[in-house]
Amino acid sequence: MAQQHLDPTDPTAGAVTADALAGYLRAQATEFLRALRQHRENGGAAAGGSEASVGAARALRRSARRISASLHTFRPLLDPDWSERIRPELAWLSGTLALEHAYEARLERLLLALHRLSGATFPAQAGTVDASAPAAGSRAAGAARVGAAAPAGAASGNPGTPTPDRGNLTVGAAKAGALLDRQLTLARTRAHSTALQALGSSRFHAVADNIAVLASEVPLSPTATTIPLHPLAAAAEDRLRDAVSALPLVTAGHPYNAEALIHGLSPDPSPHPQDAPWHQVRLLLRLHRYAREVLRNGDCVDVRLLTTGEALDRHRDASEAAAAAAQAARTPRIAPATAYALGVLHADQRHEVEAARFAFQQAWQKETVSTA
């Protein structure tokens, strides 16, 4: 059973000095360098690469996020010039490495949703590539991937015949899936190329050199030893609470948000403004969680923060998936049945957005429980 602990951001708790921050940053820098070595030994994060290379890229992003967040939260303890110079570079690296995986996960999410909504079957992406297969991202490749469903279903004795109320959706689901596959596979390929270029650039090597220095020596400010960490961590928590208090938590349980749905299907491709505050809360929640790790040397796990973080991750994924469906629906000269299927898919993902907001509301209002 989880046990309750004192909040590590409590200013009345025992003092935590700059040594704790320095030790945390050195540990994260060491993790970064270890992940970088594994990444190089496994040939980099290639599309469809080994599990080891994908895990190494994920570890790189994880360490970069924690270092960047700590530099932001505990700015007064660090050399300002060095901190302001490296923090944007870490954000650039983490964001660049995350894009390829994000497009892959988004495609899988949308194809699974189409299958759930229409009854059509969409095979998972193949782990190996046939040399005679159509080129990735082409119209033929998308049609081949989505169109292979019928024989597979017949062979299993379950042809996947849709119910009558799904008939109109099923007509366009296959073409909608092929269109999404073509667009997101192309985006993923471009993100992969961008990541490879970034990892071979002088910009990345400069970041790696800075992290190597950080692993042995943390550039603290002259007054770092006189500044306690608790008030800075408490300030990060206050910013999170202020942002959460501005969210419409009372209406977060509504199962259908017509305003966001209408905006998503409008000609305006910009994200809906009501999503931005939730994305900001997700970032502030990460800053608060990483600040707690610094204070507790990484051995404090808050169940509520983990649950709310997972809900906000689902919110972001569903929001971006809905935007991808809406963008596909704006493709010129697509069939009405395809546009209809994409519209239903967009509405489904906006429903998932509302469900994630409700889950966040339920988790946030629970009492804080920590495990150590």
- Specify the 3-state DSSP secondary structure of 220: strand
Q: What pLDDT digit, counting tens, does each position of 317-349 carry?
A: 999 999 999 999 999 999 999 999 999 999 999
Closest Cα to residue 136, out of 98, 204, 183?
183
Q: Check residue 351 and give its pLDDT.
A: 93
The closest alpha carbon to 258, from 354, 341, 330, belongs to 354
For the record, the structure tokens of 143 come out as: 């049609």
Query: What per-residue string of b and e applies to 336-366 under the rule 16 or more CB within 10 Å gives b?
Result: ebbbbbbbbbbbbbbbbbbbbbbbbbebbee
CA pair distance 155, 251, nearest whole angstrom: 46
**Residue 161 clears pLDDT 60, i.e. is over it:** no
> 172-211 pLDDT, tens per residue?
899 999 999 999 999 999 999 999 999 999 999 999 999 9
pLDDT at res. 266 = 58
